[in-house]
Chains A and B, each alone.
Chain A
Amino acid sequence: MTEKDVVERLEEIVGKKNVQADKIGLTSYGYDATLLSGVGMATVFPLSTEHVVKLVKLANEAGFTLIPRGAGTNLSGGTIPDGRCVTVNFSRMKKILDIDTENFVAVVEPGLVNFDLQAELEKKGFYYPPDPASYKATTLGGNLAECSGGPRCFKYGVTRDYILGLEVVLPDGKVIQTGGRNFNSEPGYDLTRILVGSEGTLALLTKIFLRILPLPAAKKTMLAIYNQVEDASQTVSDIVAAGIVPTTLEMMDNLLINTAEDATGAGLPRDAGALLIIEIDGHPEDMDEQVETIAGICKKARVREFKMARTAAEVDQLWLARRVVIGSVARRRPSYSLQDITVPRSMFPNMVSGILQIAKERNLEVGILAHAGDGNMHPLVLFDQRIEEEVERVHLAEKDICALALELGGTLSGEHGIGLLKKKYLTLEFSPVAMACFAKIKNSFDPRHLLNPGKIMNL
């Protein structure tokens, strides 16, 4: 079938206005939040499960591959098209099908934006815990495909912990439901779990059953500033050991404190080694006791400034530096590469000093942003995309950072996924036996490699 014929058939399935095959359309959906891009044959916007089934059948018949896509905010190259493929853009399947607060379930279509669900839930006093930084733009289908995290994960867990069930279209066009509205609804194997984080390589999502929770009755936000990263890190360990599970333990290092200060002029001390934002939630009557314990722990760890927000405005003030930090690095250098390694909590100080060492060796500026409670770190490697030689050094530094994380007993990806970007490092983390198991999973679902080929691993 020629490309022109394929486009015509796509238009028959979803209607002309839901297909884009011109140059602008192809370019617009050919890139994501990485520096990668590619071009396929067309982008198609299904509106229903039935559309998706027909697309899959056509792909089988006409011999092209399918690249599922939400908002394209992923940091792994997971939605980059390549060759004879069609991008399936789910952004028009964005209905909320049900919100059942009494039974803690929401049922949504995969193209729904995380923020739009949160806004609806908030009206009812509920929320959906996973909150990736891009939540204002990202789709829930995309969150599921990457198993996104976010700052609240330390207490509440990641996307996989909030998916109760799915309706998916398999690569042979069959529709199945996995899980349901409750725990304990899986048939045989926990198919839902293998689909979460599968980066669009196993099946196409058409419906998601999410677990939702009531908004916590009380919340306290604290800011602690330290001379050294080690002190912040000690604070984190001691808080956990004291039996307190904060929702958030966000850390920024000296470089990022400075770029944030450049951007906001909020009065952060420029010589500070690290800043920690600590947030707890729960029953109102438990807050004071926990704040007191945390303040004591910070003091013991030689904190130089400790603040607790007393009003909503003060909460915003404490979060300000963290909110602007990624954008603020643009004042230093025009580009950044955001890494996503995770190490065991006890290895946190070693990882921080290791990253600074790598930065020095590769002659690069690196700022460190971390979800410190769970050891998930986002080193921001700063560079200028136009300087080829520097880009080379950035790639070398990325590899060094991945290798160090693995050496310290960590992982290549805490919440962004593998996609195209980290595929080349996967064998550093996994043995040939594990890689063979990945292939078994892929081949069980998608023996013809129709879905998102070349992502996660080559087969």
Chain B
Amino acid sequence: MSNETVNRIKGLVGEGNVVDSPSAMARYLKGQGRPLAVAMPGNTAEVAEIVKLANEEGLKIAVGGRVVESRGLDGGLALVMSRMNQVLEIDHANLTATVQPGLAHTEFSRILAEQNLVFPPEPNVPKTGSVGGCFALGEADSQAFQYMPVRTYLLGYEMVLPNGDILEVGNKCIKNVSGYDLIHFAVGSRGTLGIFTRLLVKLLPPPAVKMALVADFASLPKACQAMATLIRRRIFPTRLNLLNPALAAGIDPGSKGNLVMVDLTGFKNSTELLAEEIAGIFHLAGSSEVQAVKEAEGYAKLWQGWLDLRGELNTTWAERVIDFNVGPMKLAAALQALTEITGDLGAYPGLVAEGLLGRVRLLLPAAGEREEMAVKVNALAMSFGGNVSGNFGSKLVCRAYNDAEMWEGIESLLGQIRRQFDPKGILAPGVSL
């Protein structure tokens, strides 16, 4: 039976585009699940055919750009979108691009740079991330204060729904309120509502100048105070990220303490003035060294370091990361309070704070204690008006308020939506909402 299924899939996408030996499949999979095969469809029609076949045979499907999460996929099918990796159109007049979902995120950025355009969202994982994956996860990255969350860059898409139907929505208009907003709702749905087969994204012209400042702070509270001073003075850089010493060493081997990384993009005059002002503030706040990084190569290397670190947090270390939000001006107090749970954060395995968003990512010493820690961290975040991110965080908030009814309301609504779109439960079996 299963051989027959694999043969049918081979018939749909071509024999050379299906891999079914465990050793050959390994490079396309993460996690412990054991799918029947990995298939690489070449176009929308093939994706739709595969999904229809999956409906007939009750086959589960999970999708990835180059690597697929195999959790819950035993006996199912992994779809790797790497063959659907074309830029179909770049529209300079409307500042949009139409791309296939398997296009590598970094490759897309490179192509755009040649045409003097920018796609601002940070890749989730520089090495393997695709544009489709960027929207499937769809978070707010560390530039979101200025450039807005990832979802704001999606203008439309084509998607194969869990029943094999093909949905097309959106257009090149940034103002569009016709019907329910399926466009932005799909962002962050992690492959549960359908499989992206084409994306229409918004682009920007590049900023006139880009430069960075890197400041070394021996004291974490002082680094936080320095960031707070910027906000109080209404200085809002493109990025304002803080790393504790363990992670700082990976970006700047010469650093001794905590590193504050500032990204400035904009017009020339203001950017230069702001860089001077920020450097002054950091010195006054106790930074031992503030470096300005103005030349293109150094700038690119610095931020590549940040993106690589982010990639590690999202993959290798994902099971050890707790992600929570408090307001940007509450960071200093929240981190101070956090030391009561973690001990000295300077000596901790990892801490990243995105200063303008008030978001903290904590890298725990080991994966085992994550749930227990999340409960404590959530209680702390709640006392600062925030919570641990995602569904788990919402659940903890409801539990903390002893509001079983609210949790039931959220959970049943999420389940209802998922069932409406995917009644047979075919897509993304490893994703629990």
- Decide: B325 and A180 in contact? CB cutoff 8 A: yes
Segment 155-195 of B: residues with Cβ below 8 Å from A = 161, 165-169, 171-182, 184-185, 187-189
- Decide: A413 and B420 in contact? CB cutoff 8 A: no
B169 contacts which chain A residues (CB < 8 A)?
430, 434
- Decide: A426 and B420 in contact? CB cutoff 8 A: no
B328 contacts which chain A residues (CB < 8 A)?
102-104
Known A157-B152, A197-B181, A374-B174; judge A286-B410 contact (CB<8 A).
no
A149 contacts which chain B residues (CB < 8 A)?
175, 177
B91 within 8 Å of A by Cβ? yes
- Decide: A189 and B140 in contact? CB cutoff 8 A: no
Complex CA gap A30/B327 in Å reads 42
Closest to B328 in A: A103
Known A103-B327, A187-B391; judge A174-B406 contact (CB<8 A).
yes
Closest to B388 in A: A185
Query: Looking at the complex, which one of B144, B330, B390 makes contact with A187 (CB distance below 8 Å)?
Result: B390
Complex CA gap A426/B395 in Å reads 37
Closest to A429 in B: B178
A21 to chain B minimum Cβ distance, whole angstroms, is 31
- Decide: A345 and B93 in contact? CB cutoff 8 A: yes
Segment 333-355 of A: residues with Cβ below 8 Å from B = 342-346
B185 contacts which chain A residues (CB < 8 A)?
189-190, 193-194, 441
Closest to A125 in B: B234
The contact size tier of chain A is: 35 or more
Q: Which of A133-141, A235-243, A322-330 contacts B (4 or more CB under 8 A)?
A: A235-243
Complex CA gap A412/B387 in Å reads 39
Known A410-B171, A445-B413; judge A182-B357 contact (CB<8 A).
yes
Interface string of A183-195 (1 = CB under 8 A from B): 1111111110110
Known A161-B152, A342-B176, A433-B167; judge A282-B270 contact (CB<8 A).
yes
- Decide: A345 and B168 in contact? CB cutoff 8 A: no
Q: Which of B30-38, B59-67, B202-210 contacts A (4 or more CB under 8 A)?
A: B202-210
- Decide: A440 and B140 in contact? CB cutoff 8 A: no
Which of A186, A187, A193, A375 has the most CB atoms of chain B within a 10 A radius of its CB? A187
Complex CA gap A170/B357 in Å reads 30
A243 contacts which chain B residues (CB < 8 A)?
205-208
Which of B358, B391, B410 has the most CB atoms of chain A within a 10 A radius of its CB? B410
- Decide: B394 and A187 in contact? CB cutoff 8 A: yes
Closest to B184 in A: A193
B95 within 8 Å of A by Cβ? yes
Segment 260-275 of B: residues with Cβ below 8 Å from A = 266-270, 273-274
B380 to chain A minimum Cβ distance, whole angstroms, is 15
Known A189-B189, A440-B420; judge A147-B358 contact (CB<8 A).
no
- Decide: B413 and A191 in contact? CB cutoff 8 A: yes
Interface string of B384-399 (1 = CB under 8 A from A): 0111011101110100
Known A426-B179, A429-B178; judge A157-B168 contact (CB<8 A).
no
B181 contacts which chain A residues (CB < 8 A)?
147, 160, 193-194, 196-198
Interface string of A425-459 (1 = CB under 8 A from B): 01001110110111011111100000000001100
A347 to chain B minimum Cβ distance, whole angstroms, is 9
- Decide: A158 and B175 in contact? CB cutoff 8 A: yes
Complex CA gap A185/B144 in Å reads 14
Known A414-B173, A456-B179; judge A184-B391 contact (CB<8 A).
no
Complex CA gap A345/B172 in Å reads 8
B147 to chain A minimum Cβ distance, whole angstroms, is 11
Query: Looking at the complex, which one of A174, A344, A413 makes contact with B409 (CB distance below 8 Å)?
Result: A174
B220 contacts which chain A residues (CB < 8 A)?
none
A105 within 8 Å of B by Cβ? yes
A120 within 8 Å of B by Cβ? no
Complex CA gap A345/B327 in Å reads 37
Query: Looking at the complex, which one of B139, B174, B270 makes contact with A283 (CB distance below 8 Å)?
Result: B270
A188 contacts which chain B residues (CB < 8 A)?
390-391, 394, 410, 414, 433
- Decide: A434 and B417 in contact? CB cutoff 8 A: no
Known A182-B386, A183-B357, A184-B389; judge A413-B405 contact (CB<8 A).
no
A176 within 8 Å of B by Cβ? yes
B323 within 8 Å of A by Cβ? yes
**Chain B residues proximal to chain A, CB less than 8 Å:** 91-96, 138-140, 144, 148-149, 151-152, 161, 165-169, 171-182, 184-185, 187-189, 205-208, 231-232, 234, 266-270, 273-274, 323, 325-330, 357-359, 385-387, 389-391, 393-395, 397, 405-406, 408-410, 413-414, 416-417, 420-421, 433
Given contacts A409-B172, A434-B179, 20 further A-B pairs with CB under 8 A are: A147-B181, A161-B152, A176-B410, A180-B325, A184-B140, A184-B325, A186-B188, A186-B390, A188-B433, A193-B184, A197-B177, A217-B234, A243-B207, A375-B175, A410-B173, A418-B177, A430-B178, A433-B165, A437-B161, A441-B182
Supply 29 A–B pairs (Cβ within 8 Å), ascending by A: A102-B327, A102-B328, A154-B174, A177-B397, A180-B325, A180-B386, A184-B140, A184-B323, A187-B391, A187-B393, A189-B188, A190-B138, A191-B413, A193-B151, A193-B185, A193-B187, A242-B205, A283-B270, A290-B267, A374-B173, A414-B175, A433-B161, A434-B168, A440-B417, A441-B182, A441-B417, A442-B180, A444-B413, A456-B179
**Chain A residues proximal to chain B, CB less than 8 Å:** 100, 102-105, 146-147, 149, 153-154, 157-158, 160-161, 170, 172, 174-178, 180-191, 193-194, 196-198, 214, 217, 237, 240-243, 282-283, 285-286, 289-290, 342-346, 371, 374-376, 409-418, 422, 426, 429-431, 433-434, 436-438, 440-445, 456-457
